[in-house]
């Protein structure tokens, strides 16, 4: 009886209960649990140690990694309690979505290969080969779309997109940026590019009117990223696409003052949760680049569908 009381006391902590739910589905490392929960390594390890001490968790080493699973001697009544609690424990649905992301990253060997391949592009000089030329070529392959560039700034990307888009609406909350971009579009004869003054949490765009909603290094400026994504979903047509390019979460605090960043980037799990909470489907997230100079900012690409 005393052992059961100890187990029930352990399960009274929501985090330990969530851990047991997940490792009952798949063996996970501490690093993977950190990604899912957004917690520090020491906190996760402490929970695992307590659970292991009561036989609720087992582990195995594979190379440098230690994988944790639910203990094989967990009483059936406790197993039923753990599984049944998923309905009531706050964050359980988000945990399941984050688990899918973690497992997909495990399998994504091709992604690691292409990241290494991309790092070689441009190291050796080849006449005429550049990222700019490649971008122009790929953009011409896209079907004509109505694109909303949310948090566009002066709109360099908007101008590039306008070359092949049906129309581009560039939204920014800076009158100076909107005025500058508008004059530049006029000077370059980009009649399908329109600049509008507004907030990305409530863009001045008609509902269900655009094919692609784009946040390029803009979401970390949002007062409320969740509201910005909900607004993006509002303006998208059924089946429309969302694309986010932003910084992976970092600890460079100076970014708040140097670049007016409201958020120090986003983890892959955070972006996944934000998109799914806003009602998007088929969400995918991956890190696509890493700067070689300190503070080594990394860029994360997220896509989803309305």
Please give the pLDDT value at position 85: 66
Please give the Cα distance from 35 to 28 (Å, whole number).
11
Q: Are 268 and 277 in contact (CB under 8 A)?
A: no
- For the chain, report the end-to-end CA distance as a whole number of angstroms: 52
Return the percent helix, strand and coil in the chain, to nearest 5. 45, 25, 30
Splitting the chain (306 residues) into consecutive groups of 10 residues, what average pLDDT does each group show? 72 88 91 90 93 89 88 75 70 82 72 55 64 72 91 89 93 94 91 96 97 96 96 98 96 92 93 94 90 92 96
* Joined tokens for residue 242: 């969302």
Three-state SS for 245? strand
pTM of the full predicted structure? 0.73
Each as own residue / partner, the long-range contacts of residues 290-296 (CB below 8 Å, 24 or more positions apart, any chain) are: 295/250, 295/251, 295/252
Please give the pLDDT value at position 1: 46
- Domains in the chain with CATH codes: 2-107 (1.10.10.10), 130-305 (3.40.50.150)
Give the residue among 121, 163, 119 at the shortest CA–CA distance from 141.
163
Please give the pLDDT value at position 115: 56
Please give the pLDDT value at position 141: 77
Please give the Cα distance from 1 to 277 (Å, whole number).
42
């Amino acid at each position: 009886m005393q052992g059961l009381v100890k187990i029930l006391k352990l399960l009274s902590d929501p985090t330990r209960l969530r851990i047991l739910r997940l490792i009952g589905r798949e063996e996970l490392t501490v690093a993977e649990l950190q990604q899912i929960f957004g917690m520090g390594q020491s906190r996760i390890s402490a929970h695992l140690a307590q659970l292991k001490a009561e036989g609720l968790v087992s582990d195995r080493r594979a190379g440098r990694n230690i994988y944790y699973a639910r203990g094989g001697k967990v009483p059936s009544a406790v197993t039923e309690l753990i599984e049944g609690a998923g309905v009531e424990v706050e964050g359980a649905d988000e945990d399941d979505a984050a688990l899918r992301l973690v497992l997909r990253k495990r399998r994504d060997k091709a992604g690691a290969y292409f990241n290494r391949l991309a790092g070689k592009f441009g190291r050796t000089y080849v006449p005429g080969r550049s990222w700019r030329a490649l971008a122009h070529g790929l953009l011409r392959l896209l079907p004509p779309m109505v694109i909303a560039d949310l948090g566009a700034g002066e709109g360099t990307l908007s101008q590039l997109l306008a070359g092949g888009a049906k129309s581009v609406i560039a939204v920014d909350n800076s009158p100076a940026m909107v005025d500058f971009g508008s004059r530049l579009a006029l000077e370059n004869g980009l009649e399908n590019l329109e600049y509008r003054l507004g907030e990305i949490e409530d863009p001045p765009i008609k509902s269900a009117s655009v094919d692609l909603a784009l946040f390029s290094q803009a979401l970390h400026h949002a007062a409320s990223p969740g509201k910005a994504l909900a607004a993006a979903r509002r303006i998208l047509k059924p089946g429309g696409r969302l694309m986010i390019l932003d910084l992976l979460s970092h600890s460079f605090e100076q970014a708040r003052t140097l670049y007016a960043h409201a958020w120090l980037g986003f983890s892959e799990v955070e972006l996944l949760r934000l998109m799914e909470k806003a009602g998007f489907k088929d969400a995918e997230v991956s890190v696509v680049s890493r700067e070689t100079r300190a503070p080594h900012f990394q860029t994360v690409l997220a896509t989803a569908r309305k």
